[in-house]
Amino acid sequence: MINNPKQGLTFGLFDTIYNAVLISGITIFVFNYLEKYKDGFFNVGLYQELIIVVAVLSAILTFLEVTSIWTKNRAKFFELGK
């Protein structure tokens, strides 16, 4: 995905920060909103709403990822076209 070795460290740093923020954000969302709104963790509604939120968020982030690498994801950049 990354052709430039100098960008690898930057990509790794941003990926680590992104994952930490995303996991923390979902945890805060579950504990502060869903748990109180759905009356505890033993309610099926909590998990139904959580999976919808996670699926929509995953779809949005996947779309952003695909559109950001679309122009660079060609065989000539990976020396496979020879």
The percent of residues above 70 in pLDDT, for the chain, comes to 70
Token digits of residue 41? 């963790």
Position 46 pLDDT exceeds 80: yes
Q: Supply the pLDDT for residue 79.
A: 62
Residue 34: CB atoms within 10 Å:
19
pLDDT higher than threshold 90 for residue 68: no
CA 49 to chain CA centroid, nearest Å: 18
Domain ranges of the chain: 26-72
For residues 33 and 65, the model is more confident at: 33
Read off the pLDDT of each residue in 27-44 and give the average, rounded to a whole number: 84
Q: Give the Cα separation of 78 and 3 in Å (integer).
A: 8
In which band, very low, low, confident or very high, does the pLDDT at 51 lie, cut at 50, 70 and 90? very high
Of the two residues 3 and 15, the one the predictor is more confident about is 15
